[in-house]
Amino acid sequence: MSQPPKPPARPDRVSLWRYAKLFREDILSAQPARLYRAWMAEFKTPFFRSYLMNQPELVKTVLKDRPDDFPKSDRIGEGLRPLLGNSVFLTNGETWKRQRRIIDPAFEGGRLRETFPAMWDAAEATAARLEGQAGQVIEIEAETSHAAADVIFRTLFSLPIEHEVARAVFDEFRNYQRSQPILNLGAFLPLPRWMPRLFRKDTRASAARIRALITELTRDRMAQIEAGTAPDDLATKIMTQADPVTGETFDTEEMVDQVAIFFLAGHETSASALAWALYLVATHPEWQERLAEEAQALDDCDFAVMSKLKLSRDVFREALRLYPPVPMMVRETTCPEQFRDREVKPGAQLVLSPWHLHRHERLWDNPDGFDPTRWQSENGKKCQREAYIPFSSGPRVCTGAGFAMVEGPLILSRILRDFQVTAQSDRVPVPVAHLTVRSDKGIWLALSKR
């Protein structure tokens, strides 16, 4: 059985200049091999210290036990703020808590059941689009991006991707996607805060165009809410939800910030995970056949069908382990700390890396192998509790995690019900990190009707 590809790790010792060049090209390939077995690693620079935290106890301390002591690093915001503004992904403290109080109710309780018909329609639309490409070798990341964007617009604004503005946002986002890494160089390297963050020349302009389009959608929806004609979708729920503490709702600018991160988190990450899941089953045909058989349960639009897609869920979970869409997260210390007998000063950058944690040699059985059955093993269950953070963890866990774990298995099953995918031996994808973990040259699969 073939091992899923991962980027070549750099040698353990390279110059700072060489590291900067590797990092700029791809942050995954810039990491040394020893990080897949280290509990903690220190990166020394003249301006600050960065620490990679792989030990589950350390990750728990930062994300779950004391999250207020380790806010999100502003160095992340420097890279993503042109698109995301002051969205819930970037804010800290009381601002973040207020935003979550307004957003979280839209994703609680029976909301998944309410949004399921929109997901179902997007899955059906995906299958219809693929119908015309049967018999061809296709770039599957483009198709999963289309599908995930369709889900977001249908569930958020009750619009299919074919809507003029929705399509314009999607097209512009494709331009933005590969121009902006998820981590800025400042997260690791000795760049003083006054130094420009090396944006590509088109990144800011693309972000501005996306925000202008989202502003148009948001203003239209506010007018519908005022007129009493707004559909009861996620956008309406969020825009009419008052903060139970302050009584405030989001204004237009704040809502644009949130929609931008919903689109990034709900589209870009889902597209990445779904594409890698399809590649994994293409390279493991025995699993593909098992999922295709299970997918025969997909008949009518009924949320109860999700309880029958157990194998698809395990495969999607495994794709999230091997190729976590957000490979690294950065927090910052606010007071002196001691981690593993090391003195850590305020202002240090704490890098929490799902990419390394999910493949850690001292934690997982067969860490680089594709094995969906691991989730039923004792090792897999333990690691799922302690070393599996594709959606982060603690209070800042992705509010759409449950949403993603319905969307991904549903669309994966719907595709495999009608189609077979076959990997191309001359086009083995190598994962790289841009906004999310994608392939260096796309993921090319032969598509055929079952």
Name residue 26's amino acid: D
Report how far residue 423's alpha carbon sits from residue 56's, in angstroms, rounded to the nearest whole number: 35
Q: Is position 398 annotated in a ligand binding site?
A: yes
Pair of tokens at residue 16: 């700072």
Task: Report the candidate in 444, 439, 441 with the shortest Cα–Cα distance to residue 424.
Answer: 444
> How many whole angstroms separate alpha carbon 114 and alpha carbon 231?
12
Render 184-237 in DSSP notation, one character per residue: -GGGTS---TTS-----TTHHHHHHHHHHHHHHHHHHHHHHHHHT---SSHHHH
The Cα–Cα gap between 322 and 5 comes to 9
Beta strands 49-53 and 349-352 are: parallel
In sequence order, which residues have a C-beta less than 8 Å from that of residue 216 and are 6 or more positions away?
165
d(CA 169, CA 175): 10
Q: How far is CA 99 from CA 233, 253, 396, in A?
A: 18, 13, 12
Q: Exposure pattern of 80-109 as b/e (b: 16+ CB <10 Å)?
A: bbbbbbbbbbbbbeeebebbbbbbeebbee
What's the residue count for the chain? Answer: 450
Provide the residue type at 243 as one letter. D
Point out which residues pair with 52 in neighbouring strands: 41, 351
Binding site residue list for heme: 398
Binding-site residue set: 398
